[in-house]
Structure 1
Amino acid sequence: MFNLYWADERGFPPGDRGAAYGDGLFETIRMHGDRGVLLSRHLDRMVRDAGRLGIPIALTDLRKACTAAVTRYAGRYTNQQAEGGWVLKLTLTRGEGGRGYQPGMGVRPNLLVSSSSMPIAPAGSGVAADFSRVPLTVNPLLAGIKSLNRLEQVMASREIHGDLFEVLMSDAGGNLVEGTRTNILIKELEGWVTPPAKSLAVTGIMRQWVLEKLRSRGEVVVERSLDIGDVMGSQCLGVYLLNSVMGVVPVRCLAGQDLPVGDGLATIFNPLELLE
């Protein structure tokens, strides 16, 4: 079991290891009323990745916290349902205790629950993006985990200004990895291409769902390394950004170059069909 905290009452205690060391992880879930988009996948990922970090948490306890959050928060966003609902955020840390990096004995996890309005939806005609100058290093031990260690993404997000929606980050070898808050999917003549899961800082829930959906329709999906030439060359028929709150976002302009925006993913994501 964990200690439950509500963000609108008070935050974590001063000695929380999440604030001190980034010792934890989080989930951001798109909600409509009392139901969430791909909710089970979000909760399953939190339990699974908490296990990878050695933070004990039961799925039943997490579901109870979500039920309490809906009771507490959903009514605040009643007038926003037509615009897309609201956002539920779950932040789980190892807890409070232990001097320095080593956790103390018997540390009990902390869960902070918060809510917010949905962000403004990106234009359906596509968004502008650029390449980040901040390299992204992915530790194989932590690959895919939506941990609280997001300083590289914070630094890269400072490059987003004006009409830019996102910047795309590369690893030290020049391979495109992901955006500051999105996974990358490109369309080529032979099919769809995305960076492999093992190379990602965050293996997104929307990424997983979209790849499964495409494969179920018989479309070719390849996971391989991407470089700038893959997305800026003539073989690229479209670049899409995947995010669990905003869904599937086409890129119409990348680093000042216009990109094609096809309709291959136009109807694949309907949040109202994915509510649980």
Structure 2
Amino acid sequence: MSQPWVPFDDRGLAYGDGVFETVLLHEGRPLLWRQHVERLQAGCQRLGIEPPTEDELSATWQATPSVAWEVLKIIVTRGSGGRGYALPHTAVPRLISQRVAFQPDPTAWASGVSVRICQLRLARQPCLAGIKHLNRLENVLARQEWTSPTIREGLLSDSHGWIIEATSMNLFWEQDGCIMTPVLDQCGVAGTLRAALIDAQQVTPGQLALDDIASVDRLWLANSVQGVWPVTDLWTPQGTCLRRWESADQDPLQRVAHPLLGYPATP
């Protein structure tokens, strides 16, 4: 099933007809592997694609590591064939993977990051909500909204004004001592670190309106590769600073999230 290349008629290339995972490896071992496999399988089921076997997926990371930290990207497409959008009579899914060296960013953990609000609004599509499908054009368009190296991420809300995620990270906030993350039943990617924190009852799904984001006690961005980035300041698309937050020595979200990734709980 695994192939190192994609032919012209691959449906993932033509239509975004597939799913992918981005997995952190430490000393050759995958972190949050169960959550990645479950999300990939759920995405394949949602799209009607036969998922790879667990042995096939495990083979993508079992080579001898060249460095301590790596990122493994796994792509599963429906394969080739079909006429237009119609599915092929017998689909043969295609599995592709690649490992690259990675260096964590402890400065972002300790000092926090600046983020901005994006003008683009995510479309609601419950059939695709939560899964990491290959069509990421909304994220690509949103990431084009800024070029300043001082802005590390952009926040995305949906067409109803609810904050959903960042362009490549999940969103978390603290209000009245409770750490929350957006409900993702209409759009957005349900991250694997997010899933692990919800399973551990460290984070509660909820809703946060774009108009209320500047009033939260703390704000974070996080994913299963970068870890947890505290947000120190929030900017509008017009370049106005909406809010600044003081970084804390003891970060409650890093304390519970970073050990799941092999990162220090306190940078």
Shorter-chain TM band: 0.7 to 0.9
Residues 209-252 of structure 1: CA deviation (Å, up to 9, x unaligned): 12333x26xxxx5422212333202xx11101121101111111
Counterpart in 2 of 1:272?
Answer: 262
Paired amino acid for 1:27:
E
Q: TM-score, normalised by structure 1?
A: 0.85
Q: CA deviation at 1:48?
A: 2.1
Residue of 30, 43, 56 corresponding to 1:49:
43
Match of 2:97 in 1: 113
* Correspondence 1:210-229 to 2 at 5 A: 210-213=197-200, 215=201, 221-229=203-211
SS in structure 1 opposite 2:49? coil
Structure 2 partner of 1:4: 2
Distance in 2 (CA, whole Å) between partners of 1:126 and 1:226 is 21
**2:253 partner SS:** coil
2:238 maps to what in 1?
A: none
Residue 75 of structure 1 is matched in structure 2 by 65
Q: Helix, strand or coil: the match of 2:217?
A: strand
* 1:33-78 CA-partner distances (Å, limit 9, x unpaired): 2201111210121112201111012433433432xx431xx433x2
Say which of 122, 132, 144 aligns to 1:146: 132
Partner residue, 2:232: 252
Aligned to 2:141: 155
Q: Is the 8 A contact 1:186 1:192 kept in 2?
A: yes
- In the alignment, the residues of structure 2 paired with residue 16 and residue 199 of structure 1 have an alpha-carbon distance, to the nearest angstrom, of 28
Q: Whole-Å Cα distance in 2 between the matches of residues 183 and 272 of structure 1?
A: 19
Q: Which moved more, 1:170-179 or 1:18-27?
A: 170-179
**2:116, 2:234 within 8 Å by CA — same for their partners in 1?**
yes
Q: Residues 190 and 266 from structure 1, CA distance in 2 versus in 1: closer, same or farther, beyond 3 angstroms?
A: closer
Superposition deviation, residue 120 in structure 1: 5.0
CA distance in 2, matches of 1:148, 1:119: 25
Structure 2 gap segments, 5+ residues each: 236-240
Corresponding residue of 1:171: 158
How far apart, in 2, do the equivalents of 1:61 and 1:51 lie? 18
Structure 1 position 190, deviation (Å)? 4.2
- The match for 1:136 among 119, 122, 130 is 122
Secondary structure, in 3 states, of the residue corresponding to 2:22? strand
**Residue 14 in structure 1 maps to residue 5 in structure 2:** no
Q: Tell me by how many angstroms 1:142 deviates.
A: 0.9
Match of 1:86 among 41, 45, 70: 70
Which stretches in structure 1 are left out of the alignment for 5+ residues?
none
* Aligned-pair Cα RMSD in Å: 1.9
Match of 1:243 in 2: 223
Number of aligned residue pairs: give it: 251
Look up the match of 1:185. 172
Shift of 1:13: 1.1
Q: What is the letter of the counterpart of residue 132 of structure 1?
A: C
1:231: which partner in 2?
A: 213
Q: Deviations over 1:175-223 (max 9, x none)?
A: 111111111110011412221131342111011112333x26xxxx542
**Compared with structure 1, are the counterparts of its residues 164 and 119 closer, same or farther at alpha carbon in structure 2 (3 Å cutoff)?**
farther
Name the structure 2 match of 1:104: 88
- Check 1:190–1:49 CA distance in 2 against 1; reply closer, same or farther (3 A cut): same
Given the superposition, is the C-alpha separation of residues 195 and 75 from structure 1 closer, same or farther in structure 2, using an over 3 Å criterion? Answer: closer
Distance 1:179 1:119, change over 3 A: farther
How far residue 259 of structure 1 moved from its aligned partner, in angstroms, is 1.6
Report SS of the residue matched to 2:120: coil
Match of 1:38 in 2: 32
Contact 1:134 1:156 in 2 (8 A): yes
**Alignment check: 8 A CA contact 1:177 1:199 kept:** no
